[in-house]
Amino acid sequence: MTAPSEEFRCEFADREDLIAYLKAQFPEAAARDDRVSPIRGGRRAADAAMKRLDPVDYAASRNYLSGTVTRLSPYLRYGVVGMAELRDAILHRAGRKGVATKLLNELGWRDYFQRRYAQIGNGVWQDQGRLGTGYAPDEYGEELPEDIATGTTGLACIDAFSVQLRTIGYLHNHARLWLAAYLVHWRRVRWQTGARWFLGHLLDGDPASNNLNWQWVAGALGHRPYVFTRENLEQYIEGAYCAGCPLYGRCPFEGSHADHAARLFRPEPGLPTGGAR
């Protein structure tokens, strides 16, 4: 990417002015893909998201695509909001002790991954353990399949997540897990390929949280590769995709965790599967 030609401007007449300026400053990026996410950057947008914090509802609904998640990750990523600041805001909103545990735990994952990244640096691109799938790294494909990249697999859920990734730059945690598991386990593509794809589009994309989560899905971090079932997905999408999916009832996610483990992984004595979060 070409370096910007001058000092960055900080004042803009409006959002259109800002977008035009950035496209001019980064012509190679704009030529690759010049869609602009509807998500607003900046402190004002971050403050609005902080005002909506609801730790109680979060704990009850976090796993649902429509759940009360904070959507603060892009602001954390670029330091618009600090970790300690967010922790204090969460505790303040919670009021009572214990109520904020779930949300604070999730924030703890970010902290843990950042610390691990500080220790291993580019090691986040290398398997942190033996893949728990029974396959060797060189048995996975290198290329991102075109139908996944373009959202044309025919699977309504996967295609929608692919489009959201590219047009919005944000995905709910569960959508990230499902998309990652589909790529790595159902299509047997290296997790690094998926991690690079995500980093190219996510507004919150960072090598620590991104790569280490991909490793967790792949079974290289911790002992269990992550797989899911159609039933599991349907519960948390609340009817959003499955009902209108042309592959409903015969999609690759039909079956139990044990069925998927038997189909997708090489049998190994004592290999447990089906991580869930």
CA distance 7 to 5: 7
- Least Å distance, CB 183 to ligand FAD, is 9
Judged by CB under 6 A, does residue 167 bind ligand FAD?
A: no
Judged by CB under 6 A, does residue 177 bind ligand FAD?
A: yes
Q: How far is CA 223 from CA 1, 184, 217, 220, 235, in A?
A: 38, 16, 10, 7, 25
* Binding pattern for the stretch 95-124 against ligand FAD, x by CB under 6 A and - elsewhere: -----------xx-xx--x-----------
Helix axis angle, 83-94 relative to 101-120, nearest 10°?
170
CA distance 127 to 106: 23
**Interface pick for ligand FAD out of 148, 165, 180, 221 (rule CB under 6 A):** 180
- Least Å distance, CB 215 to ligand FAD, is 9
Judged by CB under 6 A, does residue 236 bind ligand FAD?
A: no
Judged by CB under 6 A, does residue 251 bind ligand FAD?
A: no
Q: Are the C-beta atoms of 171 and 194 separated by less than 8 Å?
A: no
Cβ neighbours of residue 231 closer than 8 Å, sequence gap 6 or more: none
**Interface pick for ligand FAD out of 205, 222, 252, 255 (rule CB under 6 A):** 205
Give the tokens for residue 124.
Answer: 């986040």
Q: Are the C-beta atoms of 131 and 184 separated by less than 8 Å?
A: no
Binding-site annotation: residue ranges for FAD: 58, 106-113, 204-206
Which residues sit at the interface with ligand FAD, rule CB under 6 A?
Answer: 62, 69-73, 76-77, 106-107, 109-110, 113, 172-173, 176-177, 180, 198, 202, 204-206, 209-210, 213-214, 217
Binding-site annotation: residue ranges: 58, 106-113, 204-206
